[in-house]
Structure 1
Amino acid sequence: MDIDGLFFRAEALTLGFTDSSLRRARLSGELIAVRPGAYVTARYFHSLDSPQQHLLLARAMSDGTVLSHVSAAIAWGMDVWGLPLARVHLTTGRPITTRTTRRRTVHGTRLAPADFTTHDGLTLTTPARTVVDIARTATHTQAVCTGDSALRRGLVTAKALSDAVAAAKYRTGTPGAVRAVEAMTNRSDSVGESRSRLILQDQNLPVPLLNQSVFDADGTFLGRVDFLFAELGVIGEFDGSGKYGESGAAVRKNLVAEKYREDRLRDAGWIVVRWGWADLADPSALQDRVRRALARGARAPQPDGFFRGDPLPQGTPHRSRI
């Protein structure tokens, strides 16, 4: 079958397929039934990343019910690090007990008219309601990563989040949501930066400035840095996968440029400490590395030049549209 995307039984029949041919395609593994009467080819489904697969399943199961929680977050293009994607989440707005099946969870939480909207052909909770629903039901780190990405991409404002968490004051999990919303920022550029910030805050290390533009004494731009411990002269950099490009040539070129950038920062007197995804798996070791760098910075002269928190270019959502 040379069909890309989700299609339904009625569409297949108009294209000349029969119920028997659809059944044979399912048995052979060529076709996947995401729900009764809704199909996708295995070739197309396995070409998608996990959020895209979830969104395809959500489109098949939405049937007019409001998408919510992680499903709405993916539809809006938010980062959903660590959130389970096996089930589509929907909210009815009726006072029912939450129901969970193999492929979906239906919540009975109240929905005001301002809590949901339409986007890209789907009915779903607004970005603010979506972030707060996740913050009520997920871990602190998962919630902050999602909220940071929503703020960074301009999907929601800090005031909208504050209003949404206030409106949820009688719902389960709201105290955790309040704490998560307070920790969110629009100056985190990635999930890795969000997780790094939370790990550093966990041990009461000095609070860094986020994504600052650094200049030398002559006003020459040296680079935008992830974490800046200004008073101690230390820069922290998170190196995520894909940061330096996709192709081998691009990675080599960007690594050389990054080396020169770091050399210029060091020449200006900054101490630079770097870490990556593997380091986030051992928070204590990362905290100790940063603490040692801060101790070196406290003994060193102040760097030359200056820095400022320039507006950040609006982030690009991950590839979730299908």
Structure 2
Amino acid sequence: MMTTFQLPPFITPSSKFADEYSARRLARQAASGQLFRIHRGLYLPTEVWDSLLPWEKYRMRIQAVHESARNAPVFARESAAQIMGLPVIGVPSEVQTVVSPGRSGGQSNRGVRRVNAVAGDPPPWEMFGVFLTPPPQTARDLAVRLPLTGSLPTMDKLLQRIPLSGSPGNPQQFFSEDDVRAATALLPNATQRGRVERVLTVADPLSESAGESLSRAIMIEHGFKLPALQTFISDSRGFIGRPDFDWEEQKTFGEFDGYEKYSSQKYLRGRTPAQVVVAEKLREDRLRAKGYNVIRWIWEDLRDPRRLIQLLHEAGIPLR
């Protein structure tokens, strides 16, 4: 899942360190391993670069493209999604920008791919000081070019009616399927429009994380019966919880365990990770006492979908 983080400042020949770091000295320090070259004329201390997570390194590459451009680029596809906080599964190999319709798009140079904008699209948004395609257009473009496992997490998140961090104050903040369909109507051919419609047909704002959306995409692609999401379950003692996935006829609940459940304060709510584990165990005991089977999986089971598929088969989840 992508979130914002504090961008460390680049070291450049024109920065306040110019006396200490001339262009030649920067190049020598990069060659010796003291600095890491992100983009032409833009460096970070190697220890800072090595400390970043893969998606943070990708965010730094996006920022480097922005800062090195003569004219402010408009970021698109996965690059736009990463900036605005829409989920991106995996780390792209290229930074994507759009060029005006009719100009030379589809070209890649030095890790930057230029793609043609769609005629009729609205003006770009500005978020965190950079320009990017607005959320409905970004989700649409990912639905056109990515498999369901890559596009469904983005579409689920878009439809949740939660303001994206860094959104400008004046444009529309919440988006519906109708907004995405209006953007889709501008696409030049029926094949592209059909790809977006396929994602919209199965998108569900009740999905609460990228891992849950990716899990559902794998289920859909392999023909499993789809579960209800986030159903309220109670017993004689009161509310138990909202399992991520509910196959009521099979009396089976599914839970995706993302790492953030045991590390993020949003989920810990003042508790220690150990206390969260105990609370999960007690909750699961109450569910089993009601006759339910509970199956769990983690990110590793999604990176190799065969593991999730086997788990679902073993739990008796039927195919559609």
TM over 0.5: yes
Does the residue aligned with 1:10 lie in a helix, a strand or coil? coil
Q: Aligned pair in 2 of structure 1 residues 196, 17: CA closer, same or farther (>3 Å)?
A: closer
Return the TM-score normalized by structure 1: 0.79
After superposition, give the CA deviation of every residue in 1:161-198 in whole Å (9 maximum; x if it has no partner): 22222222538743222212322221112222112222
Q: Distance in 2 between matches of 1:170 and 1:115?
A: 22
Q: Deviations over 1:73-118 (max 9, x none)?
A: 1100121113x42211000123124111231101123354615211
Does 1:68 pair with 2:73?
Answer: no
* 2:62 pairs with 1:48: no
- Root-mean-square deviation over aligned CA pairs: 2.8
Q: Which residue is 1:224 aligned to?
A: 242
* Structure 1 residues 180 and 47, CA gap change in structure 2 (3 angstroms): same
Instruction: State the match for 1:134 in structure 2.
Output: 142
For residue 299 of structure 1, what is the aligned residue in structure 2? none
- Partner-residue secondary structure (3-state), 1:176: helix
Q: Does 1:150 align with 2:158?
A: yes
The aligned amino acid for 2:36 is I
In the alignment, does 2:37 pair up with 1:33? Answer: yes
Deviation at 1:133, TM superposition (A): 1.1
- Pick closer, same or farther for the CA change 1:36–1:278 going to 2, 3 Å: closer
Shift of residue 25, structure 1, vs aligned partner: 1.6
Where does residue 305 of structure 1 map in the other structure? none
Moved over 6 A (4+): none
Identity among equivalent positions (%) equals 27
1:196-235 equivalent positions in 2, closer than 5 A: 196-217=215-236, 220-235=238-253
**1:274–1:26 Cα change, 3 Å:** closer
Unaligned runs of 5+ in 2: 1-6, 165-174, 266-270
Call closer, same or farther: CA 1:284–1:14 in 2, change over 3 Å.
closer
- 1:116 alignment partner AA: P
Residue 283 of structure 2 corresponds to: 261
Unaligned ranges ≥5, structure 1? 295-322
Q: Tell me the TM-score normalised to structure 2 length.
A: 0.80
Q: Does residue 241 of structure 2 align to residue 241 of structure 1?
A: no
Q: Secondary structure at the match of 2:21?
A: coil
Pairs within 5 Å for 1:1-322:
4-12=8-16, 14=18, 16-62=20-66, 63=69, 64-82=72-90, 84-95=91-102, 96-110=104-118, 112=120, 114-152=122-160, 153-155=162-164, 156-170=175-189, 173-217=192-236, 220-245=238-263, 250-280=272-302, 281=304, 282=306, 283-291=308-316
| Whole-angstrom distance in 2 between the partners of 1:160 and 1:246 | 32
